[in-house]
Structure 1
Amino acid sequence: MFLNLRTRLLVSYAFVVFLCLFLAGSAFVVLLSDYQRQLRLNQLADLAVPVSIQVRLLELAGAPPTQIAQTLREQASETGVRMLLLDRDGRVLTDTANVLVGEVLPVPRAAMQQSRPGARWGLLAARDQGHLVMISFLPRDRPLLLARSIARPVAEVTRASEAMAHGKYEQSIPVRGGDELGRLARAFNAMARQVSASDRAMRDFLANVSHDLRTPLTAIQGFSQAMTDGTLRETQEFSAAGRIIHEESARMQRLVEDILYLSKLEAGQVRLERQPVDVAELFARLERRYHLLAEQRQVRLVAEGAAQANVDADLTRLEQMLSNLLDNALEHTPSGGAVSFRASPAQLDGRPAWRLEVHNSGSYLPAEEAERVFERFYQSDRARRKSGHGLGLAIVRELAQAHGGTVVVSSDPTAGTTFAVTLAARPAPSSPAAAGRGGALAARHAPSGSGAAKGGL
């Protein structure tokens, strides 16, 4: 009928294409069916383990068979899977479909070989209609081991949490593996360390605040009482007492202001007016300010290495950081020593930055003290303290972090101690208008005093 060669070729090509599509479709259907079957088997296997554990826990708790059967029925209703509970001999103890109870089913030979004499086997789950069957056998000890492996870390976390609730914050639980329970243990240990550190810091804070407030209050109370009860009679005595009361009240005011300011810093409530800051100009201003104080203490003051240094910072806050570091350095430099501050190129998170260093000779911080030097109220030598409350370096750290920078300390018994603040570099604008665009919202006023706080090491 098809005499035309072109027609016969088209028909043969169409037949070949149809045959290829048919074979490919058949193979796809077979593979898909096998994949669905394997997926269903995996789902049933995943379901069998937790259900068998639950049954074993009920048995250990002394639950009656009716309760176990009811639990299996509830699980079967929720999952849509028929469940059977067998003993070691294959006798059906519970069937959620109420069909095979009391009958004996063949137990796989592999299960018989792995079992011990007298061991009971846990769960058989089967698909209805007989199309897909999955059997999961668990010896009586394996569910218990699985339950213990899950319950033990949870119990340890519970006991440690109860201890922390009673004020015992030094808690640590063992970390086993890298699964969810291991991550839970690591997270709990990190939380416990943080809570313990916060509790210790709060106790130290209260003790130090009480001490630093009690000293000026005692002086104020003593001199004011002397003024009122007639102990002081001369005008010069009244004047001296009034001066001491004024100085001690000012000291209390600085302490309270510094505490409030540090709290605002830690809460992120201090906003920065960022702009390009000429470090050389700032160093010159600081040198003029501290020149007289350095001379009085017979300490050389040297500024160096700040040419071309411009950082992205709030000028007022940066000056406050360096002032606190200079106050601290002068406080701990013996007569005849030297205090220097310099700037050098650095890197901060892969970006150009400047490292601003304040170095003083004649002092040394052991490693254990260097780790705590930025804590509130921490002072390495309280007997030598002449001024300040130990808040200056804590403020420096918070301000450096608010700028996205860092502050570190290094100390050597012979060379002395160096504090270094690293801030991102920012080229100076080419015009005043460009400088105006570099700012952000206005910063709040810093506490009174050149350094806002004079922290001691």
Structure 2
Amino acid sequence: MFKSLQARLLLSYLLIIIVCLALVGLTALVLLRGYQKTMTYSRLTDRATLAAGLIGQMLHRGMPPQDAVRRLDGQLNGGKGKETWIALLDGTGRLAAGNDNRLRDQQFGTATAQTERGEHRLAGGERLLYVTVPVRSLRDPAAAPWTLILAEPLRPTRQALDSLLPRLLWAGLIALAVSVVVAAVVAYSIARPLDRIAQAAEEVAAGDYDQSLQIEAPTEVARLARSFNSMARQVQATLRSQQDLVANVSHELKTPLTSIQGFSQALLDGTAEDGESRRRAAAIIHEEAGRMRRLVDELLDLARLEAGQVELAQATVDVGALLR
């Protein structure tokens, strides 16, 4: 199924794209979780700072802690359930009031004089992000007789991620589809020139040596096409040389063969009657046979040279001596 180069290129691109999308998705989820956690802490800190001032005024007017927490709960949650948990600690760190009964059994720490934040796990396994801020006394701003704690469960953060995850999946699928189209185009642009080179090579193997490729392709493929064109030209030149050689050899062999055939026929049919005529005919036959022998030896030497079986011995030659 994946024997062709185009299919293998497409498969490799798909694997790379899927791995990259998976890494991007995981990285996005990790970053989003951290971002959601940071934003939750920031929101709780802002609300707790404002709420500390409000509840401080209520307590200063003599309102009981539980009534003050109940009124603050109405302002923060607006009757939509306990999205934000509220706890009020006295100076000893004991829970003075809260908007949820489960807060009575929890230990968020001791009273604090500065803003702190942290994470707390309930008995049922639910995790809370909380922020503690001091509630300053209006009579003595340096004193903080109360500590306000605002907490939110991690469930809304996970719900936000769960609502975002389908969108990420859709975005990933769209990106995958676009990437598949682009990868298919790239794989085709690489494999198509190679297919043309393969077809041209098959034509050369079938005897059609007049092949020339004009391909616009990547550097490596274009280089392969140029090498093929050079090979095809060399094959054509070699073929023409062989054809010329066969024609020349045929012509060179035809003359001595004609002489040998003619004088041997004269000997056979008695045309050369006297001894002188026979000796002359035999001499010509011998001479032409020697000529053919030299021609055959030259052909053998040429074949050895082309096969690389003969090494040329180079030496200095006196050209003047050769010409004299």
Which structure has the highest strand share of the two? 1
**Relative CO higher for 1 or 2, CA cutoff 8 Å, sep ≥ 6?**
2
- TM-score, normalised to structure 2's length? 0.45
User: Bigger radius of gyration, 1 or 2?
Assistant: 2
Which structure has the highest helix share of the two? 2
